[in-house]
Structure 1
Amino acid sequence: MDFFQIISEDRIKKAYEKGEFENLPGYGKPLPNDDLSGVPEELRVAYRMMKNAGYTAEESTLRREMATIEGLIARCTDDDERAALQKKLNQKMLRFNSVMSKRGGKTNSSMFKNYTEKVMKKLT
């Protein structure tokens, strides 16, 4: 044990003996379940850092879905199906850019910027 850990432990022990922890909210109740309880112990720190930085699971899911749809569009031979996939991709891109703008992140598509401007022009 280093010196600071010994001092910390000593102060905690004295505060406990004085009863300073008895009036804390939640005293004597079990701790709430961690939202990362399903994540392996060695990955929890990384997940918390990502969460604190504003990275969300929804963002990751949307990125994967957009990549999948783009792959389907590239391989699609039916024009009607391609149009339906493009519409679905546009919806995912709108949602993705909404999520990114809420967290203050950049959207990575200049094409979408033009599309957004056109939509805003029509709406206003």
Structure 2
Amino acid sequence: MEITSNPEYVGIIRLTTSGIANKIGFSMDDIEDMKVAVSEACTNAIKHSDDDVLYIAFKILEDGITIEIQDKGKGYDIESIPQPDLNNPKESGLGLFIIQTLMDEVSIESKDNQGTTIKMTKYLGVDI
């Protein structure tokens, strides 16, 4: 999918994620987790990439799904993102932590002025 970087369209991506995950056989809890993770990834891309378009790819696996959110924006230094202080949480800055907590596998690639790709995988029947 290719979608305009507009917060109003995150709901479309959430609905698409829900529909695909439901057809694969994920539980409602897993589907809700994926919808939150996808929302966080899209929101981060919209807020930080300075790109006008998001690219979303769904890959159905034998035992799960991989969802890839990509922008071609300014990118960032992944190592510079601090781990959140869960004892003193802030209003923002928890997005990547939430994604990593809700999904089974997460990889992030980002390069200056070449964009960012967040690849998230959820497996059927795996409890985190």
TM-score when normalising by structure 1: 0.28
Q: Which has more radius of gyration?
A: 1
Q: Higher relative contact order by CA 8 Å / sep ≥ 6: 1 or 2?
A: 2
Structure that is richer in strand per residue = 2
Structure that is richer in helix per residue = 1
TM-score when normalising by structure 2: 0.27
